[in-house]
Homo-oligomer: A and B are copies of this chain.
Amino acid sequence: MSTTSVSIEASGSSAAKTFSAAVVGASGYTGALLAELLMRHPALALSAVSSDTQAGTPVAAVLPRVRTDLDFCRHDDVAGVDAAFVCLPEGAAAPIVKRLLDAGSRVVDLSPDFRLSAEAYSEWYGEHPYPELLPGVYGLTELNRAQIAAAQLVANPGCYPTAALLALEPLHALGLQDVIIDAKSGVSGAGKAPSERTHFCSVDSDLLAYGIGGHRHYPELQAGLDIDGHGPALSFLPHMVPMQRGILETIYVRAEQHPTACELRKLYAVVYADERFVEVCDEPPRLRDVAGTNYCRIFVTVDERAGRIVLVVAIDNLLKGACGQALQNMNVMLGLPEQEGLL
């Protein structure tokens, strides 16, 4: 075994890595997955993983997939890193993001704390501790690349808006009038905390339509579809489906213009021609084609009988909908190749 064991560790070595990176908050799904991605990133060295409840414990004992010698530290102990990914609940993220920014780190915040305008934030969440920082640069990479490259703080989008806004972007030019987003998500979107709702026997063989009164991603979608204060009539209804990961959204649109299905596919092909992580496809996408990747796949057609545009869009909610896009954004912020460390 001796001859090969030397080289085995080579690619895992952090000697050649350019930037130090921290995951702040690794008790949930996104923090754990980001730590795993960073371990394999060729230019970012995982230098800290925090969890206030697990501080002092070896990371690998709690997260066997993260094969590192690091122990968990406390959130407040994270300092001096080039790149910080904040994976904390809403409200808890803002003060820590502020501290890391003041200390000079580049920050991608995966919480909703910096996604909205000050007005929208106060309407949906209440008072914000740093309204002057609102809204952060919205990290939908394909749509905001230039601002992201120049930003110190990027607000990583919610999973549902990521899929919907990528799918709807090319239609803005047609005059959006009416948009219905019927979204289906895996259970990881509901987070890791055990609850009646996430119990296996509650989810398996069942479907849950939830957030009918108003899901917290609604204002984010609304802001993304609004142009000069005018947005379409927007309905957004998420469903929880018996699977762990993935979001599939079926979107029904009425627009002022009425292109054919063929014209629409050409439009989409042009808009996303240079994008590595967005694929326009000839039939409705499957989650298995994006699972474990940072890709977004979009299908567009026209329901001739009803005179309506229909879109089907698929992403992995934990990757393009969270950790993958966060890493994509950080790559852009650091001037690295955008796909570095991503599948």
Complex contact B64–A11 (CB within 8 A): no
User: Does A227 make an interface contact (CB < 8 A)?
Assistant: no
Q: Which residues of B contact A206 (CB under 8 A)?
A: 243, 246, 286-288
Complex contact A338–B7 (CB within 8 A): yes
B-contacting residues, A229-268, CB 8 Å: 233-235, 237, 239, 241-246, 248, 250, 252
What is the bound-complex CA distance between A182 and B3, given in angstroms?
Answer: 35
What is the bound-complex CA distance between A186 and B242, given in angstroms?
Answer: 11
User: Does A19 make an interface contact (CB < 8 A)?
Assistant: no
What is the bound-complex CA distance between A252 and B212, given in angstroms?
Answer: 12
Q: Mark A303-316, 1 if CB is under 8 A from B, else 0.
A: 10111101010100
So how many copies of this chain end up in the complex? 4
B-contacting residues, A196-227, CB 8 Å: 196, 198-210, 212, 214, 218
| Closest CB in chain B relative to A66 CB, distance in Å | 10
Q: Which residues of B contact A242 (CB under 8 A)?
A: 200, 204, 241-243
Candidates B2, B3, B235, B245; contact of A303 at CB < 8 Å: B235
Candidates B186, B307, B339; contact of A8 at CB < 8 Å: B339
Candidates B210, B287, B337; contact of A7 at CB < 8 Å: B337
Complex contact A184–B207 (CB within 8 A): yes
| Closest CB in chain B relative to A86 CB, distance in Å | 22
Complex contact A205–B291 (CB within 8 A): yes
Partner-contacting stretch, out of A96-104, A113-121, A168-176, A273-281: A273-281
15 A-B pairs besides A1-B145, A64-B281, A200-B200 with CB distance below 8 A are: A1-B142, A8-B276, A11-B337, A11-B339, A64-B289, A182-B182, A187-B201, A200-B202, A200-B244, A207-B241, A207-B248, A208-B284, A209-B248, A233-B305, A233-B307
A and B contact pairs by CB, cutoff 8 A, 22 listed: A1-B274, A4-B332, A4-B337, A11-B337, A64-B279, A180-B306, A184-B241, A186-B205, A194-B199, A200-B242, A200-B244, A204-B243, A205-B287, A207-B241, A207-B248, A207-B287, A212-B301, A212-B310, A235-B303, A235-B306, A241-B241, A242-B243
